[in-house]
Amino acid sequence: MLEHLNRAMEHIEERLDATIDVAELARIALTSEYHFRRMFSALAGMPLSEYVRRRRLTVAGAEVLSGERTLLDVAVRYGYTSGEAFARAFRAMHGIGPGEARRAGAVLKSQPRMSFRLVVEGSSSMEYRIVERPAFRVVGRRARVPLVHEGVNPAIASFIKGLGQEGIDRIAALSEQEPEGIVSVTEFFSDSREEGVELDYYHAVVAGVEADVPDGLDVREVPAGTWAVFSNTGTFPKALQEMWRDVYTQWFPSNPYETRPGPEILRVRFLAGGDAEAQLWIQVERVAR
């Protein structure tokens, strides 16, 4: 049954810019239309129509940001009869109108693609924005460390402790660009994200390409490109590691972007009570659906 349900979900993805016939979805899922609607709502925690609306507005949001089509063309493509109707629906989901979203740094919400297993994945939304960045430098200290999926990474903790407060302050003084202040920068050199795989870790800041770099610091030149920026607040480090997981298991499969090779940047600001506020920056490129 789950296999057939997931085939129905694939059918939805293929027809986000066309008419979606619930009777056809039910046929694919090998059930009645009534039962399909009830089953979907019970498993997903939202009506089928709401899920389709949010998925359409998710992919429409990416097209609004790209600027390749007029807002009216985007509206019509995703089933809205007028720009006004599209703007109202867009604002209801994203919190801003489509015209505002075309300004740099707009924050949009993403409804991940849903799949049925023993649990439902993708029933919550995450906030993101797309940023075009000129070339810049990551400046700080670098170490080769193993990947740890859960809990504090002891190799990173030991590395940071060894820098000392004076060394960290020296790096922090070089911060020039967003994300401001000390950041954690990781770079993988294989597709594997298994526990224990080695990666480069920088305790660093973001600076301009012309920035003067004091002796003894490492530099990573980062070319101009497009970045997806994700925001998250929660218990450190659990919430941050969950955000990283959700970006790759939910956001990328649900949005018309792919990762580009290069570093990933994480900025963390600690809050009271053991919580932390984080931004995760990942290089991306838009792909045709």
Asked whether the predicted pLDDT for residue 250 surpasses 60, the reply is: yes
Tell me whether residue 124 is in a domain.
no
Last residue of a domain, one of 102, 120, 150: 102
Asked whether the predicted pLDDT for residue 180 surpasses 90, the reply is: yes
Tell me whether residue 113 is in a domain.
no
Tell me whether residue 111 is in a domain.
no
Same domain? 142 vs 277: yes
Tens of pLDDT, residues 151-179? 789 999 999 999 999 999 999 999 999 99
Same domain? 26 vs 141: no
**CATH number (domain holding residue 66):** 1.10.10.60
Q: Enumerate residues 6+ apart whose C-beta is below 8 A from 160.
A: 168, 203
Same domain? 54 vs 172: no
Which tokens go with 9? 């979900």
Asked whether the predicted pLDDT for residue 118 surpasses 80, the reply is: no
Same domain? 272 vs 177: yes
CA distance 111 to 100: 20
Asked whether the predicted pLDDT for residue 45 surpasses 80, the reply is: no
Tens of pLDDT, residues 49-87? 999 999 999 999 999 999 899 999 999 999 999 999 999
Same domain? 46 vs 140: no
CA distance 171 to 257: 33
Q: What is the pLDDT of residue 133?
A: 95
Same domain? 247 vs 160: yes
Same domain? 94 vs 172: no
Tell me whether residue 115 is in a domain.
no
Q: Is the dihedral angle over the CA atoms 277, 281, 286, 289 positive or is it negative?
A: negative
Asked whether the predicted pLDDT for residue 4 surpasses 90, the reply is: no
Q: Enumerate residues 6+ apart whose C-beta is below 8 A from 179.
A: 206, 265, 267, 279, 281
Tens of pLDDT, residues 189-240? 765 566 787 899 999 999 999 999 999 999 999 999 999 999 988 888 888 8
Asked whether the predicted pLDDT for residue 123 surpasses 80, the reply is: no
Q: What is the pLDDT of residue 42?
A: 64
Q: What is the pLDDT of residue 201?
A: 97
Asked whether the predicted pLDDT for residue 23 surpasses 80, the reply is: yes
Q: How many domains, the chain? A: 2
Asked whether the predicted pLDDT for residue 249 surpasses 70, the reply is: no
Asked whether the predicted pLDDT for residue 281 surpasses 60, the reply is: yes
Q: Average pLDDT, whole number, for the chain?
A: 89
**CATH number (domain holding residue 198):** 3.20.80.10
Q: Look-up: residue for tokens 């810049």?
A: 136
Owning domain of residue 257? 133-286
Asked whether the predicted pLDDT for residue 119 surpasses 60, the reply is: no
Asked whether the predicted pLDDT for residue 148 surpasses 90, the reply is: no
Last residue of a domain, one of 63, 80, 102: 102
Same domain? 171 vs 97: no
Same domain? 154 vs 281: yes
Tell me whether residue 114 is in a domain.
no
Same domain? 161 vs 264: yes
pTM higher than 0.75: no
Say how many CA atoms lie within 13 Å of 104 toward its Cβ: 5
